[in-house]
Amino acid sequence: MTSQTITPIERDEAAAAKIRRHHEHLVTELERLVTALGTDEAKAQLVTWARTSLAPHAAGEERTFYRTAADTEAGRLLIAGMVIEHGVILGIVDAIEQSAEPVATRTWAEALLRVFRSHAAKENDLVLPLLVAEPSANLAELLEEMH
């Protein structure tokens, strides 16, 4: 009986799949919170979730995946744009928190959802494949480091 060896690409593909599932979870949770808007309590829940789940996730990505991808020729500009987008996302959260009118709150929340869906898709479809293909990157290790 021989033991099966997992290749670095298989290891990193498995880590990328975990990250994609987590992104799906974040999008689903944000969709739920946006749909529930209508009260001050629901708005507070959305802002709290964004500050305690979304913002730390973004910071963790910047310390790990983004740092590694930015060190590659193909990733340098992509990651610069992704970091800027994190700022846009957090700015929208500030706008939601500061909005006093329910229509403005809903509009900002829907904008947050649209921008975050797009951002997560870019991470899934551009950043993760770049890291999986990069021989010097160990996505599984980066995922552990992030957590």
Tens digit of pLDDT for each residue in 63-98? 999 999 999 999 999 999 999 999 999 999 999 999
Q: What are the residue boundaries of the structural domains of the chain, listed by start?
A: 11-146
Reported confidence tier of residue 8, pLDDT bands at 50, 70, 90 = confident
Burial of 69 (0-12, 13-18, 19+ CB in 10 A): buried
Which pTM does this prediction carry?
Answer: 0.92
